[in-house]
Amino acid sequence: MILRGEQMDDCHDDWPPVRGDYRVGDSRRGVAVVTLASRLDIRGAAIVGTCKTENLGVEKIVTNLISNPNIRYLIVCGAESRGHLPGDAIVSLHRNGIDGSGRIIGAAGAIPFIQNLQREAVERFRRQIIVVDMRGVEDIAEIERAVDHYSGIAEPFSEPPFEVVKKTRSSRAQPGDLDVSLGPDVYLDVDAWAVSA
């Protein structure tokens, strides 16, 4: 159990669990920063990185954040990736969650689906993380002031690290499980690079 104000020191040694385009700072800090399509050298956060896709990129962010209960704030800043709109997907996911097919409710990107995470992981993200919407802001000093502010008020989450278990698909994919419809009863499963009819 974590007491108020007590940092979680038993974060896994291999945190963060998912590889990506990020730089790890002090894992005991309470703030993460995603700079979307912008490359910004932000200091003082637990983790700072880019995100250019509204599906797999967002899944990686969720997985890495909920596996560290010290992180309570996610600052979403920088320029959106055109067409994909991952910042919009992150804000919408936090605000609205996902529907029965894994679509991020209210997200405007091309394919805003959470396909590889269980619903419990999404709900943990929504409970643990407070999203600070600074989309479009690329001023490093302004972002670092926000990092300092939220680091000063962040309290560790009261539950242990969440271990994500990737969803597995059956050997015979179903249309609702797949990413792209190629016509009547023909679907592309992009994870398996297979077409089902």
Residues 9-18: pLDDT tens digits?
Answer: 545 568 999 9
Q: Is the pLDDT of residue 1 over 50?
A: no
Question: Residues 81-104: what's their mean pLDDT?
Answer: 96
- Name the 3-class secondary structure at 12: coil
Q: Is the pLDDT of residue 56 over 70?
A: yes
Residue-level pLDDT at 172 = 46
- Name the 3-class secondary structure at 138: coil
What residues pair up with 187 in beta bridges, in sequence order? 181, 196
- Tokens standing for residue 35: 């700079």
Tell me the backbone φ, ψ of residue 75, rounded to 5 degrees.
-90, 120
Query: Model pTM?
Result: 0.81
Distance CA(5)–CA(182), nearest Å, equals 52
To the nearest whole percent, how much of the chain has pLDDT over 70?
Answer: 77
Q: Is the pLDDT of residue 192 over 70?
A: no
Tell me the pLDDT tens digit for each residue of 135-188: 999 999 999 999 999 999 999 999 999 998 866 554 444 554 445 655 555 555
